[in-house]
A and B are shown apart, each in its own frame.
Chain A
Amino acid sequence: MKMNLERIGESEWLVPQHHGMRVPGRIFADRETIAQLEEDTAARAAWNAYEQVIHVASLPGIVSASIALPDVHPGYGFPIGGVGAFDIQDGVAVVGGVGFDINCGVRMLATPMQLEDLAPQVERLADDLFATVPAGLGSTGSLRLAVREIDALLRDGAKYVVDRGYGELRDLEFIEEKGRMGGADPEAVSTLAKQRQFRQVGTLGSGNHYLEVQVVDRVLDEAAARAYGLVQGQIVVSIHTGSRALGHQIGQDYLKEMAVACEKYGLQVPERELVCAPISSPEGRRYLQAVACGANCAYANRQVIAYHVRTSLERICGIAPQSIRTVYDVGHNTVKRETHRVAGEERELLVHRKGSTRAFGPGRPEAPARYVDVGHPIFVGGSMGTASYVMRGTRTGMEKTFGSGIHGAGRAMSRKKAVKRYWGEDVLSELSAAGIVIRAHSARSVAEEAPGAYKDVESVVGAAEAAGINRAVARLRPVAVVKG
């Protein structure tokens, strides 16, 4: 099989409408990524991101294009790095456009420390973070919430835990949606999902989740960095995790419900993982209410972990918790109601971003007041031990991608291959030799997450910049990593 692809710009490719597509595909990627897509397509690989872009383009009510961003790789249903916007009236809500880890995302905290302040204590800090932040398979949090308390958390998001002493009210200003996605109805979430979450509030999880202490290695956009309060040499901490078991169960429950809904409403989907329901249907509405609950659970989860990070920094480095500021908190497995200008007309859309971040450009009211002029930040994680980036959206990004951004380097190798090629202990030794302090709960997981299993973050960031959709603000280097 051959890809039907035309190069239309710098790192921008068009998949013309064909084979049941209702809109074209638009892939933002460098030549290396396109070559990988070509290889998978030619080999008729079972899971193929190019094919997934085409499948999403065939869904009812999709608007403008089925989009893939530079970190694109195969997912289930939607490609990872996929964006699909649907008309509110005649479009669908798609479980595969959000996935199981609802509102998985990144919280960044800025400390008043410079690298030289931290250097003598980095090993002790890593040990303390490893002991303090619950991570890894089977880990449990200290905040145990019964079903009724979980309901309140699902409605109120990060504010629920702030009101109970985990952080400060001013954190909320710097969380996407102020840490509380509207429209959440705990009745739409199963009791099983809430029960599964009982011990998991404030836990990091495992796999590609991490907590990373980083140094601002290079400022690339002075004005935006100034707005975000970031300077060269500054120590920041990034927390990457999501909605944990509650989100996973919502995804599982609604896959089943949407499969039934697809039949009920006579919706033809190209593959089972794209089961969906009309946005305006009871099933569609209920799913979105449940997703909002999952999103709020993730915001609360990251807020609790941020609290633990602050106590750790206070214990080991003597930093006052109030001096550690939330830079921003943004999710990359989400679905949101948004208004966008399409062909000269304002339209209300449901925008799914799977392994993609909302990255609204300058001048948007959704950003915190002090970020409006430059646009809110997004966080692009590299692989373990490599650079990460703070970026921001652009006006071009608003027009071409509904204001979406990359979220990471993107995997280039399967976990099966990674475990064969890399030995967890070797990866740990190599990172240590490079001066990165690392603490991990699972050597097997470390092998799966080896840097070699990921694309080069520099080229993914470069492709996003070349396409004009995201702009780099600062490059970060890891100092210490805690892995689940």
Chain B
Amino acid sequence: MSVEYLEHTADVGVRARGETVKAAFCEAARGVVSLMVSCPDVKTVFSTPIHVRAETLAGLLVEYLSELLAARDLHGLAFGSFDARIERDGGGYVLRGTASGERFDPGRHKPGTEVKGISYLGLDVRQEKDGSWVAECVVDV
């Protein structure tokens, strides 16, 4: 599992890899959230349920990541760990999972830059030849 940040002049490209599509999604979440806080420094105090739906896996990635940004603002949260289950749902996909963390603490969480939104630039979710998955997008900072 891994996250790579891609060269983009004004914003940030996030490329996440995982053995399964849900692992790639969780890595993408960790990659995006790591721009804002240091995930290893975030304790697991409570978990927020995440439940999103989209027609395509790429759309699902955008829904998932933007849901995490909304939860950050609605509840003042920092997230440190993620789990997810992705299933087919009618003609589309549904993701059910949790994002775990605690109230944001600027003293402990080493704040970085606020992510403003998940753009469609460079958006892709794909399975590689070796069976692993890649989930990537550019985020606005």
Residue of chain B at shortest CB distance from A443:
B110
Query: Which of the residues B69, B73, B106, B119 comes within 8 Å of A76, measured between beta carbons?
Result: B119
Interface residues of A in 399-417 (CB under 8 A from B): 411-417
Q: Do A192 and B10 touch (CB < 8 A)?
A: no
Q: A100-B117, A136-B111, A207-B114 are in contact. Are A47 and B8 (CB under 8 A)?
A: yes
In the assembled complex, the CB of B15 is this many whole angstroms from the nearest CB of chain A, namely 11
Does any Cβ of A come within 8 Å of B6's Cβ? yes
Q: Do A137 and B106 touch (CB < 8 A)?
A: yes
Residue of chain B at shortest CB distance from A272:
B120
Residue of chain B at shortest CB distance from A415:
B12
Q: Do B140 and A441 touch (CB < 8 A)?
A: no
Q: Do B122 and A46 touch (CB < 8 A)?
A: yes
Q: Do B116 and A46 touch (CB < 8 A)?
A: no
Q: Do A207 and B74 touch (CB < 8 A)?
A: no
Q: Do B37 and A411 touch (CB < 8 A)?
A: no
Does any Cβ of B come within 8 Å of A301's Cβ? no
Does any Cβ of B come within 8 Å of A235's Cβ? no
In the assembled complex, the CB of A277 is this many whole angstroms from the nearest CB of chain B, namely 15
Q: Do B9 and A413 touch (CB < 8 A)?
A: yes
Does any Cβ of B come within 8 Å of A325's Cβ? no
Does any Cβ of B come within 8 Å of A77's Cβ? yes
Does any Cβ of B come within 8 Å of A196's Cβ? yes
A249-257, A305-313, A338-346: which one contacts chain B?
Answer: A249-257
In the assembled complex, the CB of B31 is this many whole angstroms from the nearest CB of chain A, namely 12
Query: Once the chains are docked, how many angstroms separate the CA of A138 from the CA of B76?
Result: 6
Does any Cβ of B come within 8 Å of A238's Cβ? no
Cβ contacts under 8 Å, A285 to chain B: none
Does any Cβ of A come within 8 Å of B18's Cβ? no
Cβ contacts under 8 Å, B74 to chain A: 195-196
Query: Once the chains are docked, how many angstroms separate the CA of A283 from the CA of B22?
Result: 33
Interface residues of B in 6-38 (CB under 8 A from A): 6-13, 36-37
Q: A252-B66, A411-B9 are in contact. Are A47 and B138 (CB under 8 A)?
A: yes
Does any Cβ of B come within 8 Å of A99's Cβ? yes
Q: Do A249 and B113 touch (CB < 8 A)?
A: no
Q: A101-B116, A136-B106 are in contact. Are A76 and B111 (CB under 8 A)?
A: no
In the assembled complex, the CB of B37 is this many whole angstroms from the nearest CB of chain A, namely 7
Query: Which of the residues A45, A47, A251 comes within 8 Å of B121, measured between beta carbons?
Result: A47
Q: Do B5 and A416 touch (CB < 8 A)?
A: yes
Q: Do B9 and A73 touch (CB < 8 A)?
A: yes
Q: Do A273 and B141 touch (CB < 8 A)?
A: no
Q: Do B111 and A138 touch (CB < 8 A)?
A: yes
Cβ contacts under 8 Å, B111 to chain A: 136-138, 206, 441-442, 444-445
Q: Do B9 and A205 touch (CB < 8 A)?
A: no
Residue of chain B at shortest CB distance from A260:
B55
Does any Cβ of A come within 8 Å of B50's Cβ? no
Does any Cβ of B come within 8 Å of A248's Cβ? yes
In the assembled complex, the CB of B26 is this many whole angstroms from the nearest CB of chain A, namely 20
Q: Do B70 and A249 touch (CB < 8 A)?
A: yes
Query: Once the chains are docked, how many angstroms separate the CA of A259 from the CA of B62?
Result: 13
Does any Cβ of A come within 8 Å of B112's Cβ? yes
Q: Do B73 and A196 touch (CB < 8 A)?
A: yes
Cβ contacts under 8 Å, B93 to chain A: none
Q: Residues 196-218 of chain A: 1 if any B CB is under 8 Å from the residue's CB, otherwise 0?
A: 10011000011100000000000
Cβ contacts under 8 Å, A245 to chain B: 73
Interface residues of B in 93-114 (CB under 8 A from A): 104, 106, 110-114
Query: Once the chains are docked, how many angstroms separate the CA of A73 from the CA of B69?
Result: 26
Query: Once the chains are docked, how many angstroms separate the CA of A62 from the CA of B117?
Result: 26
Query: Once the chains are docked, how many angstroms separate the CA of A417 from the CA of B59?
Result: 29
Query: Once the chains are docked, how many angstroms separate the CA of A444 from the CA of B78?
Result: 17
Q: A196-B74, A411-B10, A441-B111 are in contact. Are A272 and B123 (CB under 8 A)?
A: yes
Residue of chain A at shortest CB distance from B58:
A272
Cβ contacts under 8 Å, A196 to chain B: 70, 73-74
Q: Do B110 and A74 touch (CB < 8 A)?
A: no
Cβ contacts under 8 Å, A195 to chain B: 74
Q: Do B119 and A442 touch (CB < 8 A)?
A: no
Cβ contacts under 8 Å, A199 to chain B: 73, 76
Q: Do A414 and B8 touch (CB < 8 A)?
A: yes
Does any Cβ of A come within 8 Å of B118's Cβ? yes
Q: Do A207 and B9 touch (CB < 8 A)?
A: no
Q: Do B117 and A206 touch (CB < 8 A)?
A: no
Residue of chain B at shortest CB distance from A249:
B70
Does any Cβ of B come within 8 Å of A430's Cβ? no
Query: Which of the residues A45, A100, A192, A442 comes within 8 Å of B140, measured between beta carbons?
Result: A100
In the assembled complex, the CB of B69 is this many whole angstroms from the nearest CB of chain A, namely 7
Q: Do B8 and A138 touch (CB < 8 A)?
A: no
Q: Do A137 and B13 touch (CB < 8 A)?
A: no
Q: Do B106 and A47 touch (CB < 8 A)?
A: no
Residue of chain B at shortest CB distance from A36:
B9
Q: Which 3 A-B pairs have the closest CB atoms?
A: A100-B117, A76-B121, A272-B120
Instruction: Jot down 25 A-B pairs with beta carbons below 8 A, ordered by A.
Output: A47-B8, A47-B13, A47-B138, A73-B10, A74-B8, A74-B10, A75-B10, A76-B121, A101-B116, A137-B36, A137-B113, A195-B74, A207-B114, A207-B141, A248-B116, A251-B116, A251-B117, A256-B62, A271-B120, A272-B123, A273-B121, A415-B141, A416-B5, A442-B113, A444-B110
Which residues in A have some Cβ–Cβ distance to B below 8 Å? 45-47, 73-77, 80, 96, 99-101, 136-138, 140, 192, 195-196, 199-200, 205-207, 245, 248-249, 251-252, 255-256, 259, 271-273, 275, 411-417, 441-442, 444-445, 448, 484
Inter-chain pairs besides A207-B113, A411-B9, A445-B113, 19 sampled, C-beta below 8 Å: A45-B7, A47-B121, A47-B138, A76-B119, A77-B121, A96-B119, A100-B119, A137-B37, A140-B76, A196-B73, A205-B114, A252-B118, A273-B119, A273-B120, A273-B121, A417-B7, A441-B111, A444-B112, A448-B113
